[in-house]
Homo-oligomer: A and B are copies of this chain.
Amino acid sequence: MMVLKKSTQKELDRVQAIIKKELVSEKIIQEIYQYIFKAEGKKTRALLSLLASKSKEIKSKDRTNLASIIELLHTATLVHDDVVDESEIRRGTRSVNQVWTNSYSVLMGDFIYSKAFILMVKLGIPSILDELAKATNDIARGEIIQLNLLEKKQYIKLQDLLKVSYLKTGRLFEASSKTGAMLANKSKKEIKIFGLLGKTLGTAFQIQDDILDYEAFKLDTGKPALKDFKEGKITFPLYFALKNSTVKDKKFLMNRLGQPKISKKDQNKVYSLIQNEKTQKEINALLQKYSQETLKHLHKLKHDACYNEMLNLINFSKIRKK
């Protein structure tokens, strides 16, 4: 876990409380809703928004409300993603589509999305509404492109992966950081920097996520290992591994890609191909590139109230194990 300033931790706890206090009169909805939010996520996007909105002039209540809206939006995408990916596990417990059905997941996702929009309207800042509506649309776009890439397999370019990473992850990081700055009435120039910082941090976050999906095979993080590979997704590590593999190994990888059940021996081989020195060097260089860019943006916010905590968040993102 990342160590947070006490006041920030308090605000992040408030986000969880705001979301959980939501009362729905129908038992079935309340039940699924509580199940979804019982398992606490990392709340990285909510934290990013809370840091970006730091300002003595803004009520803490508005800031935690915005962070809650962002966490709701993010959770809605996860609930729908689990249907798309046919996932069994989410945040360490069985996913909604497993405990209930895909149908419930589709509708609960819609329920949570629209709840987020209701709260956004209540917050009442048009520029924030605009940014979050656009981000939500871009996330869906990114997911559709990713789904379509599943059919492209070895013809995927690094450019494709970067675009998908931006849309499905970087975009909401960008919006979280940007709307936080908007709420705090920062200057147009600062809002832009916060947006860029979120964008590159989100891409770095996705790269680390892709790495961890393979690392989970050796680490004991509770995350299911090689999930992306089993779902047939070409992510950053696999992209480089394919590029650096012999014809024979490439064939091996492409044959196993998308198989839900892979023998332990084959999993070991997949893992070792990802561990290839050149592949590791390239994937780490890519991660480093986006982390450096994020720090470069942060550098321009040296006098902002969030500087130290934002620096912590950026550094922690690179070394996190889940």
Known A28-B148, A111-B141, A144-B111; judge A118-B130 contact (CB<8 A). yes
> Once the chains are docked, how many angstroms separate the CA of A83 from the CA of B101?
11
Which residues on the B side are within 8 Å of A143 (C-beta)? 107, 110
Bound complex: CA A248 to CA B139 (Å): 53
Give which listed residue, B24, B80, B103, B110, contacts A147 with CB less than 8 A.
B103
Within 8 Å of chain B (Cβ to Cβ): is A104? Answer: yes
A292–chain B nearest beta-carbon distance, Å: 29
Task: Choose the segment among A121-129, A178-186, A249-257, A295-303 that binds chain B (4+ C-beta atoms closer than 8 Å).
Answer: A121-129
Kindly state the separation between the CA atoms of A136 and B117 in the bound complex, as whole angstroms.
Answer: 9
In A177-235, the 8 Å CB interface with B consists of none
Q: Which residue of B has the minimal Cβ distance to A105?
A: B106
CA distance A122 to B137 in the complex (A): 14
Chain B residues within 8 Å of A129, by CB: 117, 121, 129
Interface membership of A84, Cβ < 8 A:
yes
Residues 1 to 45 of chain A near chain B (Cβ within 8 Å):
24, 26, 28-29, 32
Decide if A162 is an interface residue (CB 8 Å cutoff).
Answer: no
Interface residues of A in 70-122 (CB under 8 A from B): 77, 80, 83-84, 102-104, 106-111, 113-115, 117-118, 120-122
- CB <8 Å contact, A102 and B114: no
The secondary structure that dominates the A interface is: helix
Task: List 5 A-B residue pairs with CB atoms under 8 Å apart, sorted by A's residue number.
Answer: A26-B141, A29-B141, A110-B139, A110-B140, A129-B129
Which of these, B28, B115, B141, B148, contacts A24 with CB under 8 Å?
B141
Tell me if A262 is interfacial: C-beta within 8 Å of chain B. Answer: no
A98 to chain B, nearest CB (A): 15
B121 near A140: Cβ-Cβ < 8 Å = no
A134 located at the interface, meaning its Cβ lies under 8 Å from any Cβ of chain B in the complex: yes
Which chain B residues border A313 with CB–CB below 8 Å? none
User: In the bound complex, what is the Cα–Cα distance between A111 and B138 (angstroms)?
Assistant: 8
Interface: A58 (CB within 8 A): no
| In the assembled complex, A145 has its CB within 8 A of some CB on chain B | yes
- With A121-B126, A121-B130, A133-B121: A145-B26 Cβ-Cβ less than 8 Å: yes
Which of chain B's residues have a CB closer than 8 A to the CB of A130? 118, 121-122
User: What 4 additional pairs, Cβ within 8 angstroms, besides A107-B143, A111-B137, A111-B140?
Assistant: A29-B141, A113-B136, A114-B133, A117-B117
Contacts of A106 in B (CB 8 A): 80, 83-84, 106, 109
Q: How long is the Cα–Cα vector from A141 to B32 in the complex, in angstroms?
A: 12
Whole-angstrom distance between the alpha carbons of A226 and B5 in the complex?
A: 61
Contact B103 A84, beta carbon cutoff 8 Å: yes
Taking a contact as CB atoms under 8 Å apart, the answer to whether B121 and A137 are in contact is: no
Q: Which residue of B lies closest to A119 (CB)?
A: B133
